[in-house]
């Protein structure tokens, strides 16, 4: 059984002016997501600025998210690291906190081989009993790419490695993965502009940045596809493209935090080295939020 199907939000971590975590605002954002049909909450991922958190902050945010969600939808915690021991520690602590699954990114900076990737993910998997969704995003990991053969082998050899968030943008590789997997690997889109194409190859859904500002539309796009309304899903995908492009015109999560602030959601400042959005890009983003009907 899949951890979830449909639209999971890669949720932002809102900060106060002093860059401490805005827990009150975070709770409101979670409630907004659940009220608008989001199918899962993915906490402390790239969009949640986990890379700038201490381990204590990281785990506190995960624990708080689990408490607020209270089993209404699955909570998936980002627990990856370029250090295998750290990834094991964070994943074990997330399991203790009560998460439904963990999202474990490929090790960055070290540039592991395929053998190294297998050993890294296997060690994390054997340390816990919760499901793991691997996160393949070569653009943020020095080009490190989980090859289809490696992904399938990991799922076959580790019962709790169940799927992958694919942000490669490489549909030839994705099609090969689906062909080799024969249904044994749950695949989620890591790119908001490629959700419907990925679903057409057998994907289970999306782990979405767009969902922070358009949760209902992102959920509906997936739901329509699964219900057989492919044209309806396609329309939402295509109508959303200008907004998606604006949300990624600067590195994530710079634009989405600006978009949430424009909507009146809790977002707060970015932690360095991220900086505030350029005014000309912010103007385009505001326009596209209005055009998509979410501002």
pLDDT tens by residue, the chain, 295 residues: 899 999 999 999 999 999 999 999 999 999 999 999 999 999 999 999 999 999 999 999 999 999 999 999 999 999 999 999 999 999 999 999 999 999 999 999 999 999 999 999 999 999 999 999 999 999 999 999 999 999 999 999 999 999 999 999 999 999 999 999 999 999 999 999 999 999 999 999 999 999 999 999 999 999 999 999 999 999 999 999 999 999 999 999 999 999 999 999 999 999 999 999 999 999 999 999 999 999 9
> Tell me, what's the pLDDT at 250?
98
The β-bridge partners of 21 are 15
**What is the reported pTM?**
0.97
> Tell me, what's the pLDDT at 142?
92
Cβ–Cβ < 8 Å for 247, 192? yes
CA–CA gap between residue 69 and residue 64 (Å, rounded): 9
Which tokens in the block code for residue 65? Answer: 């998210």
Among the options 89, 115, 118, 165, which is catalytic? 165
Among the options 67, 111, 135, 258, which is catalytic? 135
Q: Hey, what long-range contacts does 190-193 have (CB within 8 A, 24 or more apart)?
A: 190/135, 190/136, 190/137, 190/165, 190/166, 191/167, 192/218, 192/240, 192/244, 192/247, 192/248, 193/237, 193/240, 193/241, 193/244, 193/245
> Tell me, what's the pLDDT at 287?
98
CATH superfamily assigned to domain 6-227: Aldolase class I (3.20.20.70)
Q: What are phi and psi of 241, to 5 degrees?
A: -55, -45
> Tell me, what's the pLDDT at 1?
85
Whether 165 is catalytic: yes
Whether 92 is catalytic: no
Q: What are phi and psi of 206, to 5 degrees?
A: -140, 145
The β-bridge partners of 40 are 8
């Amino acid at each position: 059984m899949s951890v979830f199907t449909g639209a999971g939000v890669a949720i932002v971590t809102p900060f106060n002016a002093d860059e401490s975590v805005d827990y009150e605002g975070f709770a409101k954002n979670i409630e907004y997501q659940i009220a608008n049909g989001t199918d899962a909450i993915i906490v402390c991922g790239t969009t949640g600025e986990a890379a700038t958190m201490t381990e204590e902050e990281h785990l506190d945010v995960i624990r708080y998210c689990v408490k607020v969600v209270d089993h209404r939808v699955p909570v998936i915690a980002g627990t990856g690291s370029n250090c295998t021991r750290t990834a094991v520690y964070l994943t074990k602590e997330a399991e203790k906190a009560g998460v439904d699954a963990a999202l474990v990114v490929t090790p960055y900076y070290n540039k592991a081989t395929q053998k190294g990737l297998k050993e890294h993910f296997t060690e994390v998997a054997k340390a816990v009993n919760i499901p793991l969704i691997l996160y393949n995003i070569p653009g943020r990991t020095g080009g490190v790419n989980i090859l289809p053969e490696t992904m399938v082998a990991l799922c076959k050899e580790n019962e709790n490695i169940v799927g992958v968030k694919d942000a490669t943008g490489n549909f030839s590789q994705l099609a090969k993965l689906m062909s080799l997997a024969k249904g044994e690997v749950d695949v989620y889109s890591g790119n908001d502009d490629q959700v419907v194409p990925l679903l057409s190859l057998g994907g289970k859904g999306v782990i979405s940045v767009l969902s922070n500002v358009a949760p209902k539309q992102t959920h509906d796009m997936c739901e329509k596809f699964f219900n057989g309304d492919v044209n309806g899903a396609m329309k939402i995908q295509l109508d959303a493209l200008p907004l998606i492009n604006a949300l990624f015109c600067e590195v994530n999560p710079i634009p989405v935090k600006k978009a949430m602030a424009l909507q009146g959601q809790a977002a707060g400042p970015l932690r360095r080295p991220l900086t505030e959005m350029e005014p000309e890009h912010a103007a385009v983003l505001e326009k596209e939020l209005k055009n998509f009907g979410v501002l």
